[in-house]
Amino acid sequence: MKNNTLKASLLAIVAGTTLLTAGVYAADDAKDSNEGHGKHGYHQMKGERGGHHDMRKMFRGLDLTDEQKSELKALFLAHRDEMKQNRPSKEERATQKEQMLSFITTSNFSEDDVRQALAAKQEARQQKAVDILKLQNQAYQLLTPEQQEKFKERFAKRHNR
């Protein structure tokens, strides 16, 4: 009888340890799965400051003056505010999702309607790309001719990799 009690106790300890270990690993995996994401676990654009990180990186090593740095910072902040204003609202995003769902679930599929919706999305993406290139051009114009030459060399070197 004593032998069975010992075996049962050992079994209870092993089972308990296994369950606790599984819980610890699960919590650790949940914490690791949040790496590379924002503080709320949402996926962020690459880099420290979203899409602007690459732009700021372009101007490293150009020996910018304090005045140039402050002008670039003001330019980037103004662009960020403009982009926030142009961002679609929650209602607009919900409407787009509803529209995509209706395209999938409708019994009368219309390619023309889908093409129109996709063309509108593509136009918005194109406008965003134009705005970013415009910002980069404005930032480039703040550089001195020597800095512009160095920028061109670094840009060519970076894109030849």
Q: How confident is the model at residue 59 (pLDDT cuts 50, 70, 90)?
A: confident
pLDDT at position 48, please?
A: 47
Read off the pTM.
Answer: 0.58
Cβ proximity of 61 and 154 under 8 Å: yes
Chain position carrying tokens 């690993």: 25
Tell me how many helices (H) and strands (E) the chain has: 6, 0
What is the residue-wise DSSP string for 26-82? HHHHHHHTTTTB-TTS-B--SSTTTTHHHHHHHTTTS---HHHHHHHHHHHHHHHHH
Q: Domain residues of the chain, as ranges?
A: 1-44, 48-159
* Residue 59: other Cβ atoms inside 10 A: 19
Q: What are 77-135's pLDDT values in tens digits?
A: 888 888 888 888 899 889 989 988 988 998 888 888 889 989 988 998 899 899 989 98
Indicate the residue type of 2: K
Secondary-structure class of domain 48-159 per CATH: mainly alpha
